[in-house]
Amino acid sequence: MNLRKSLAIVSLVTGLAGVTAVEAQEKKITRADLPPAVEKTVAEQSKDATIQGFSTEIENGKRIYELALTVNGYGRDISIDELGNVIEVEEEVALGSLPPAVKEGLTKAAGTGTIAKVESLAKNGKLVAYEAVVRNGKKRSEIQVGPDGKKLSHPE
């Protein structure tokens, strides 16, 4: 009887872990799949830009739509909620265009690695961080600093 209980618990935990993994997976979609409110925001946000694609996923129990764009040769990803509100914007920026404190903070955090790509991260219209992809040999990682170039207390 204890073996059955143990197997049932293991099955339940494994099943819940699978649901969480599925919930967090990003799914590619087409523009035709967007709800009207999201489509309206996409039309506004994609002016003078090239649309690269759309995706959706569930974050914290809520459906989020992502719009991938190219603007003036740089990538921009915009996260939009079901009501059409822009909740997050990740925008690629040139390392040389960063404020000195931010560039210094990213360089320090990268250590011996090479900064390959930098993005500004804004949530609800407010700049909250800068994020960089760092390459160290064949390894790839991400680092973040705040708008002031200092280490963040938690990842954004």
Q: What is the pLDDT of residues 87-145, one digit of tens each?
A: 999 999 999 999 999 999 999 999 999 999 999 999 999 999 999 999 999 999 999 99
Cβ atoms of residues 109 and 143 within 8 Å: yes
**Dist. CA 41–CA 51, nearest whole Å:** 13
Question: Locate tokens 């914007």: which residue?
Answer: 89
Residue 14 corresponds to which tokens in the numbers above? 């494994």
Q: What is the mean pLDDT of the chain?
A: 88
Residue 54 corresponds to which tokens in the numbers above? 């759309």
Task: Please state the domain extents for the chain.
Answer: 94-156
**Dist. CA 47–CA 21, nearest whole Å:** 34
Which of 111, 108, 107, 119 is closest to 139 using CA atoms? 111
Residue 154 corresponds to which tokens in the numbers above? 């938690």
- pTM beyond 0.85: the answer is no
